[in-house]
Amino acid sequence: MTRLLAALLLVSALVPSGTASATPCPATTHAVGDPFAETVAFGGQTLRPPGGETNTGFGWAVATAHVDGDRCLDVVVGAPYAGDDDQGAVYVFGAGGVQTLTARDPREDAHFGWSLAAADLPGGWVLAVGEPHADDPLTDAGAVHLFSPRGQARLNQESDGMIGNGEVGDMWGWSLAFHGDPARPDLAVGVPYEDDDGTGIQVASGIVDAGTVVVIKDVLSGAPYTTRKWDLGQATKDVPEEAGNRFGWTLAATRIGGVSYLAAGAPLAGPRDAGMVQLWADLSPARAITVPGTTGLGWALAFTGDGRLAMGHPYTKGATGGVHTTTVDGTVAALPVPPQPGQRYGWSLAADGASGLLVGAPDRDGVGAVSTSATTPAPAGSVDYGHAVD
């Protein structure tokens, strides 16, 4: 009872108050993570772990949403190696200060904050936090935590109505995206290390690490949940399902003209790890996307403001990397790539305004960079600038 009360009090501190910000909002709406320098750049500020903690992975994942009730965007930062035993933490930076979120039942080496998804809802907000290394119920089976003004919930493959079984090494919650009706969102969960091994609980059998994608319908409605699940073979016949595909490594979602689109990457699918991306329209598989000559297509995904899907492949051509875009009806185009072997251009992606795109290249010049129409150099002291963008 004490733990539940503490969790509800923590969430109540984040409930929007309805007050307006008295100071101007930052000019930028983008956050850039550099987890090896323990920094996040946002609005001309450099955000750091509260209390000066080190070796937390601060900036491993970043997201933005209106959480604290003013009109300015708040920055949500994952630090999956925070804590004495790598339990992980998430920090919400807003005008009123910094709030710290942790798992309701923190677990050793669980890496709470590995992945993030945030959404503004009519009159509210919702935040999903991945904990893919949680022993829930078995080693590295994985879990996902939901935070909203309604409270906090922990989901795993044993939750009431959830499809699938929690098995060793599934990494359920490796990637996350909100999808569908903005007022009653679904939650898409990537499970790239799940084995396609039939029904029931098995370990290291079947097609190992093939991966799956799970969609939890109207996730805020609570248990029993209504869920759907696809392995690569169920989503498409155009790309063979094989061991190590890592289907569900990344996820992205958007809504265009009343149709909800979901995309999932399998960056090690296909010959020579070319990679592929699966697209759904209103949860009906629409098409599988492959691009000749890529390596790791689908490592990063983002929908732009004008409805194109950007697909990063940071290991192409000696890890020079690259990005292709596609319209939902199938027109594929390559974006220009700044030349530099090993820069891993396309490691991370995020929409930038109505039609632009942020592209992370965390190994450019040994410190990292983020590109829009021009390459933005890393701030002084950076190590892996552009590892995560939002």
| C-alpha span between 101 and 190 (Å, rounded) | 22
Domain 2-14+40-290 sits in CATH at: 2.130.10.130
What's residue 23's pLDDT?
Answer: 58
Write the pLDDT tens digit of every residue in 170-198: 999 999 999 999 999 999 999 999 998 76
Domain definitions of the chain by residue range: 2-14+40-290
Residue 8, amino acid: L
The pLDDT value recorded for residue 200 is 58
pLDDT of residue 16: 35
Q: Give, as one character, the DSSP assignment of residue 69.
A: S
Mean pLDDT over 235-255 rounds to 97
CB 44 within 8 A of CB 28: yes
Residue range 352-357: mean pLDDT, rounded = 88
Amino acid identity at 119: A
Q: Which pLDDT value is given to residue 164?
A: 84
Q: In what order do the strands lie in the sheet with 143-148?
A: 115-121, 124-131, 143-148, 151-155
Express each pLDDT in 13-29 by its tens digit.
343 333 333 456 766 67
